[in-house]
């Protein structure tokens, strides 16, 4: 029967994609990881966004703390305060993290990170080792904090009566205005100003025409595309600031570990003190495999695999000279 379309999935193919882990432990591979290993791996791969202690950086998710805040004005929903199943942590870290380098962690690393997140939430002690064997023994604090959608019972009957059409209220007063908060984005005025600035820049003769001419515009454009994977952590261009990673204006040709105000890893700072410079070749080697080329770097990025991407990236970065 049927249409006779498609082909049978091979066991290897199902195994490669069917990696979801369920609350009863279905899907967990064999393996284990301890809290201290987890802390190291977390510092390397996760802390840039989630903070050294899983407390969250900027607007990135906070993973620890927040216990007993779910009834507060501003509840803090973390693995410890909110998540009902440990399987969700393991599954999400395994399939979707680190951000920008998903599915690069080993099973043992995922166990270790999960153990560290449990530890940072005071759910386990510092000597804890999480494995496929004791996975179901961990009790999540908010496991009982959920009910299945009850709108059909609690809301729909209330909201299904014949609505009032006339004399529905005695008086109406404005109780709150959005303009008081003033959090609405501007209507495109910034873009217009920027366009004007760019037009002006295009009209004025470039002061450093030699530099500009040396750039390959097509390669720069490609590099901008490649740079999308870096934007979560790095800013470049007008007004670029240090964020999770340092701002990158003028990085090509600059000494390593020397952007003002950025807190570098020990490895990066030492390399700079020893006279290392971000030449084009050095940058390419680093970006191809950051952890291999600079052991101890905090940058949690898997690396650019293609030479074309590396060339485009360096060309793109060169288009932002130091201010």
Interface residues for another protein in 50-89 (CB under 8 A)?
58-60, 70-71, 73, 75, 77, 79, 82-85, 87-88
Q: Closest CB to another protein among 14 and 197? A: 14
Considering only 35-43, 200-208, 229-237, 306-314, which stretch makes contact with another protein by CB under 8 A?
229-237
> Does 150 sit near another protein (CB under 8 A)?
yes
C-alpha 225/C-alpha 270 separation (Å) is 31
Instruction: Between 72 and 260, name the residue whose CB sits nearer to another protein.
Output: 72
Q: Quick one: DSSP state of residue 255?
A: B
Q: How far is the CB of 99 from another protein (least distance, A)?
A: 7
For residues 22 and 266, which CB has a smaller minimum distance to another protein in the complex?
22
204 binds another protein (CB under 8 A): no
Phi, psi (deg, nearest 5) at residue 311: -65, -45
Nearest to 55 by CA among 41, 40, 45, 65: 65
- 192-199 contact pairs (CB < 8 A, 24+): none
In three-state secondary structure terms, 126 is coil
d(CA 179, CA 192): 23
| Dist CA 50 CA 97 (whole Å) | 12
Give whichever of 59 and 210 is closer to another protein, judged by the CB atom: 59
Distance in angstroms (rounded) separating the CA atoms of residues 85 and 283: 42
Footprint of another protein on 172-201 (CB under 8 A): 172-179, 181, 183-185, 187-188
Closest to another protein by CB, 127 vs 149, is 149
Q: How far is the CB of 271 from another protein (least distance, A)?
A: 28
For the bound state, the minimum distance from the C-beta of residue 114 to another protein, rounded and expressed in Å, comes to: 13
CA distance 301 to 107: 18
Could you tell me the smallest distance in angstroms from the CB atom of residue 270 to another protein? 30
Among 29, 31, 100, 253, binds another protein (CB under 8 A): 100
Among 125, 127, 137, 160, binds another protein (CB under 8 A): 160
| Helix (H) / strand (E) containing 48 | helix 47-50
Nearer to another protein, 66 or 257 (CB): 66
User: What's the residue count for the chain?
Assistant: 323
197 C-beta neighbours (distance < 10 Å), count:
11
- Please, which residue, 77 or 284, has the CB nearer to another protein? 77
């Amino acid at each position: 029967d049927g249409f006779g379309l498609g082909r049978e999935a091979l066991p290897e193919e199902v195994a490669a994609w069917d990696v979801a882990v369920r609350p009863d432990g279905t899907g967990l591979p064999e393996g284990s990881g301890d809290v201290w290993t987890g802390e190291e791996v977390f510092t390397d791969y996760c802390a840039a966004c989630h903070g050294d202690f899983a407390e969250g950086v900027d607007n990135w998710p906070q993973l620890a703390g927040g216990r007993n805040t779910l009834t507060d004005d501003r509840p803090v929903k973390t693995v410890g305060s909110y998540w009902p199943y440990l399987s969700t942590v393991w599954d999400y870290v395994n399939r979707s993290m680190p951000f920008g380098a998903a599915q690069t962690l080993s099973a043992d690393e995922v166990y270790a990170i999960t153990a560290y997140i449990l530890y940072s939430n005071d759910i386990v002690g510092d000597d804890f080792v999480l494995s496929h064997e004791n996975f179901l023994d961990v009790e999540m604090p908010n496991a009982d904090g959920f009910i299945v959608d009850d709108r059909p019972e609690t809301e729909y009957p209330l909201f299904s009566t014949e609505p009032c059409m006339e004399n529905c209220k005695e008086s109406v007063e404005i109780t709150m205005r959005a303009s008081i908060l003033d959090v609405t984005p501007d209507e495109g005025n910034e873009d217009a100003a920027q366009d004007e600035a760019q037009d002006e820049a295009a009209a004025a003769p470039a002061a450093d025409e030699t530099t500009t001419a040396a750039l390959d515009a097509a390669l720069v454009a490609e590099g901008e595309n490649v740079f999308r994977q870096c934007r979560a952590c790095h800013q470049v261009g007008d007004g670029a600031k240090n964020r999770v990673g340092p701002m990158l204006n003028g990085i090509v040709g600059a000494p390593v570990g020397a952007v003002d105000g950025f807190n570098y890893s020990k490895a990066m700072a030492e390399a700079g003190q020893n006279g290392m410079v971000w030449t084009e070749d050095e940058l390419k080697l680093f970006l191809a495999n950051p952890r291999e080329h600079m052991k101890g770097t905090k940058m949690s990025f898997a690396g650019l695999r293609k030479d074309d991407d590396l060339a485009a990236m360096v060309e793109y970065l060169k288009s932002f000279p130091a201010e």
